[in-house]
Amino acid sequence: MSFWSDKTILITGGAGFFGSQIVNQLLQKGVLRENIRIPRSRDTDLRKWDNCVRVTRDIDIVIHLAAKVGGIGFNQAYPAQLFYDNAIMGIQMIEAARQEPVDKCVIVGTICAYPKFTPVPFKEDDLWTGYPEETNAPYGLAKKMLLVQSQAYRQEYGFNSIYLLPVNLYGPGDNFDPSSSHVIPALIKKFTDAKWENKPFVDVWGTGKASREFLYVDDAARGIILATERYNKPDPVNLGAGMEITIRDLVALIQELTGYSGEIRWDTTKPDGQPKRSLDVSRAQREFGFEAQMPFREGLERTIAWYEEHREVAGRPHDAEDQC
């Protein structure tokens, strides 16, 4: 608690799926609720410079999560918005935090920043060995520029900004809006709804050959807090679970856990996205003692149970910058 004592913390995106878990864990550590500031996108557009200046005033620590995000279809439909909104929010937040100045700025990047054909497991040193997968390149590159900015600001201004790369997150409270959800909530919604509505088949994008790694949201929040407390270096750090699963195996597992008995139809005209994703997580363990704890099957069971309980409202649209 000594690290957090008397500190005022700004968490952009703090009302969203990921941010709310960080807030909960900070409250459990004894941080006072009045010391946590959470700007909401409907009231505070972080694409506007004056708002970034205002929200960083009298702040000790900035944790920048706010982002416009989505799955493959969303990335294909809105590449310009994904590039501009994520780049301008991050660039201005870092500059406003430097001018304040805040004591520390924690930037949450994205696994989409890695090159399309990064050797598995992804090592942080491979970030610049190629171009990202095309369907998510505008988003990935926008967030990747914040790493460049963080390192440049440390070099020129001595500004303590760190950069973290969480893998795909999942868990209770995820975004189940089909227009912008990621693969796990999208599949959970499809199979659960198909079971309830007695649909004979479920359509799934791609071939199923691509692989992904997933990190339970509570684990990810703990990783962010540990890094904020203990890490003060320019090098980016992966946050992951150290596992890998193909989309085909993921689909089979979610079908089993939801109890859906119908047919799966693979739409191979749709893209797979990046061929493989799995992280080397040794730097996070070495630098600030982070290791994932939630078993993947149990995490999925909890997420499915949450969706089944909140099914009527879970698929509603999210505020764009509150999704993280």
Domain boundaries, the chain: 9-170+213-243+276-294+318-322
Alpha helix segments (H runs only) across 100-172: 137-157
**Among 47-56, 125-134, 175-184, 259-268, whose mean pLDDT is lowest?**
175-184
Catalytic residue (choose from 114, 139, 153, 216): 139
Percent of the chain topping pLDDT 90: 87
Quote the pLDDT of residue 67.
94
CB count, 10 Å around CB of 1? 7
Split at pLDDT 50, 70, 90, the class of 41 is: confident
- Beta-bridge mates of residue 211: 246
Quote the pLDDT of residue 212.
95
Instruction: Give the separation between CA 93 and CA 78, rounded to whole angstroms.
Output: 22
- Does residue 317 have a pLDDT over 80? no
Mean pLDDT of 19-37: 96
Split at pLDDT 50, 70, 90, the class of 179 is: confident
Tokens, residue 203: 């359509």
Beta carbons within 8 Å of 317's beta carbon, 6+ residues apart: 177, 179, 180
Mean pLDDT of 30-44: 94
Percent of the chain topping pLDDT 70: 97
**Which letter does DSSP use for residue 249 in this model?**
H
**pTM summary value:** 0.93
Q: Is the dihedral of CA 43, 21, 140, 228 positive or negative?
A: positive
Quote the pLDDT of residue 8.
97
Alpha helix segments (H runs only) across the chain: 17-28, 49-56, 72-77, 79-99, 137-157, 183-196, 217-230, 247-258, 282-288, 296-309, 311-314
pLDDT tens readout for residues 118-163? 999 999 999 999 999 999 999 999 999 999 999 999 999 999 999 9
- Does residue 324 have a pLDDT over 80? no
Quote the pLDDT of residue 2.
86
Mean pLDDT of 66-74: 88
Split at pLDDT 50, 70, 90, the class of 71 is: confident
3-class DSSP assignment, residue 218: helix
Nearest CA to 264 among 187, 317, 174? 187
Secondary-structure class of domain 9-170+213-243+276-294+318-322 per CATH: alpha beta
C-alpha distance from residue 203 to each of 198, 245, 276 (Å): 14, 19, 22
The reply to whether 231 belongs to the active site is no
- Does residue 1 have a pLDDT over 70? no
- Does residue 204 have a pLDDT over 80? yes
- Does residue 319 have a pLDDT over 80? no
